[in-house]
Amino acid sequence: MARGFSVVCFAAMLIAAAPAAGLEVAEPAPADKAPLETGKVIEKVVTLHDPAQSYALYLPKAYAPDRKWPILYGFSPAARGADPVKLFAAAAEKHGWIVVGSNNSRNGPHEPIAAAIDAMLKDTGARLSIDAGRRYATGFSGGARVAFGLAMDKGFAGVIPTGAGLPGYAKPPEKGAKLAVCAIVGTRDFNYLEMLRLEETLRKREIRQRLTIFDGEHRWPSPELCGSALRYMEMLWMADAGRAGSPEAAAILAEERTDADRLLETRGQYLRGCGRHEELVRVFSGAEDARKALVERLAGLESSERCRKERKAQADLSALRAEWAALADPEEQFVRTVEGMARFAEAGADTDAGEGARLQLRGMAVQLAMGGAQLHGAGRYTEACTYLQRARRLVPKDADIAYNLACAQARAGRKDEALKTLAEAATLGFKDADHMKKDPDLDSLRESPEYRKIVEGMEGATKNL
């Protein structure tokens, strides 16, 4: 297989976010109950009952044990607890939250993850003054799945999953469940489509939820987006507590309105901006002064020509999807869906639905290419060919996908097809002749004159560079 598309995607799961600017980092804390320093990120707090377990910690400057505090538990796929702590620290300071991040939970077997969770819950419960009704979880990629599972299992107030959604074993929350969800994903994340499906599922189940989409790959979101997610949870808590009319809530509302207006001007996000304004009307229904202005603003948006155009485009795309989904033959369904969405994306490029169709096609290509790589690794070469052929239909000029398809075809005994696809990969720009000559996937092609011609062509092109 190529070193390109699928390998890069999987490697991206371990990308760490840069530390938030301006944060001081304190020395590791010993495993005792001495007071912990506030206003600084402590990268390693060793648990009282197990010296092998630790977590990163941020306590707001005003922290004192004489009152209960909300807490956010964070999970990195690479056991870097400081990653979520640094990203959420500024917002935690602003709103008065504790943030912790496990240094032991990482992508892998369930047992070490469960042990890390238990250790962190036990130790924070012993050391810190926590509001049991205001526990939250967050994580990135595999850590997001850990956070989601923990939040549902322990009855947390909310979860902020980034770059991934539910764990594979878990069903979505029950209809009307109290768990609030504020998910974040990049437009080029290989889990982008998964997060769109999660959003729709949660909406149908009447779960309070928000999906924030940023322009980017599979990575931790920025501190600003993390902060807006924490602010969302703070906003919901204030509304539930009857504090929607408080000065603190008014400050949050001002920031929320600014973000909602910004979405109205962002490509492909106009209806999300309208949805944010609609959400604010619901959340601040108990604040009479604020509610009047919010209702007027929403009414103006919904009566606009732009809103009517966007909603019609969404309805047209939904009707087309229902038509494609009704096709009995899977291959015909795939082809009609891809071709139809491509036409729709081109014709409606100035609408949310058109931009959404374009992004979904790209998301399908990523998922199919990754699925093909996984099937190839499992020795299921015929199925890998199907996935990679479909990925090529979506991105026909990707040299790495063409090369991977040639490898799968060669393993599946389809030598003529493999040679043709390999030649296409070379034409598209695959130039790593050394890798190709060592790749065991292509062993069945070595004696072919066509294979030798492809190698000679690559080597000649390299010499002429």
pLDDT of residue 19: 42
Q: What is the mean pLDDT of the chain?
A: 92
pLDDT of residue 130: 98
CB 179, CB 147: distance < 8 Å = no
Q: Has residue 182 got a pLDDT over 90?
A: yes
Q: Has residue 20 got a pLDDT over 70?
A: no
**CA 1-142-388 angle, 5° bins:** 30
pLDDT band at 31 (very low <50, low <70, confident <90, very high): low
Structure tokens at 7: 């390998």
pLDDT of residue 2: 63
CB 76, CB 16: distance < 8 Å = yes
Structure tokens at 65: 């044990």
Please give the order of strands across the beta sheet that includes 158-162. 25-26, 41-46, 54-58, 98-102, 69-75, 130-140, 158-162, 180-186, 209-214
Per-residue model confidence as pLDDT tens digits over 431-445: 999 999 999 999 999
- Residue spans of beta strands (DSSP E) within 150-236: 158-162, 180-186, 209-214
What phi, psi does 413 have (nearest 5°)?
85, 10
Per-residue model confidence as pLDDT tens digits over 279-294: 999 999 988 889 999 9
Per-residue model confidence as pLDDT tens digits over 144-166: 999 999 999 999 999 999 999 99
pLDDT band at 44 (very low <50, low <70, confident <90, very high): very high
Cα atoms in the 13 Å half-sphere on the side-chain side of 213: 24
